[in-house]
Amino acid sequence: MTTPSEPSTAVNAQPATGDPIPPGPAGVPTVPAGDPAAAAGAAPVVAVATYPDYAQAQRAVDYLSDNKFPVEKTSIVGTDLRLVENVLGRLTTARAAGAGAASGAWFGLFIGLLLGIFSNSNWFAVIFVCLIIGAIWGAIFGAIAQAATGGRRDFTSRSSLTAGQYAVTVEADAADEARALLTRLNWQTSGAQ
């Protein structure tokens, strides 16, 4: 055991393998690939084209694939990411109760099917009763949950991540071939001869 006045050789020691990453408090960190040798041998990538939407970037990679380009060397990278929340409508207590009733009915149907398998009575009656009970409890809980917000979020919405642009990147050794093919694609889509 070392005393506070003695320097610790384990903390100050450099890795014996010549690894450029110094050890941290928990040891030597590893690169995301898990194998430092594999990460060191990774080929550099070059952006060969950028597109305003994903469909065009996907079409470009599909065109490369159709022309026998090794597409395993390509990636589509979205940049300038932003969260977009589209407001779908106003959320009232009645609408929340209706949505709760629908989800409760699905849960009731599931429970009814499970109970119906092991029931000796009318199978459809068991499913129907469970469905109705699930819808009632779902409506009650949906209305209570909406009323509990106190009007802080009286709307429904859907969130999505969107990118400002999409870059098609290719390993540097195949970038010239990809650029030539994508130039031909651009000529064809523009109507040039």
Strands 82-90, 74-79: pairing kind: unpaired
Asked if residue 175 belongs to a domain, the reply is yes
- pLDDT-derived band of residue 170, with 50, 70 and 90 as boundaries? very high
Asked if residue 23 belongs to a domain, the reply is no
* Same domain as 151, residue 174: no
Asked if residue 173 belongs to a domain, the reply is yes
* Same domain as 169, residue 77: yes
Reduced to 3 states, what is the DSSP secondary structure of residue 69? coil
Tell me the pLDDT tens digit for each residue of 103-131.
Answer: 999 999 999 999 988 888 888 889 999 99
Compute the distance between CA of residue 97 and CA of residue 134 in angstroms, rounded to an integer.
12
Asked if residue 9 belongs to a domain, the reply is no
* Same domain as 143, residue 51: no
Please give the residue range of the domain that contains residue 188: 44-81+163-193
DSSP states along 122-161: -HHHHHHHHHHHHHHHHHHHHHHHHHHTTTS--EEEEEEE
Cα 41 off chain centre by: 28
User: Which residue in 43, 48, 83 sits closest to 166, CA to CA?
Assistant: 48
Tell me the pLDDT tens digit for each residue of 3-23.
Answer: 444 444 444 444 455 556 666
Structural domain count, the chain: 2
Asked if residue 169 belongs to a domain, the reply is yes
Compute the distance between CA of residue 71 and CA of residue 62 in angstroms, rounded to an integer.
9
Q: Is the pTM of this model over 0.75?
A: no
Tell me the pLDDT tens digit for each residue of 46-97.
Answer: 999 999 999 999 999 999 999 989 989 999 999 888 999 999 988 888 999 9
Q: What is the domain-level CATH number for residue 189? A: 3.30.70
pLDDT at 30 over 80: no
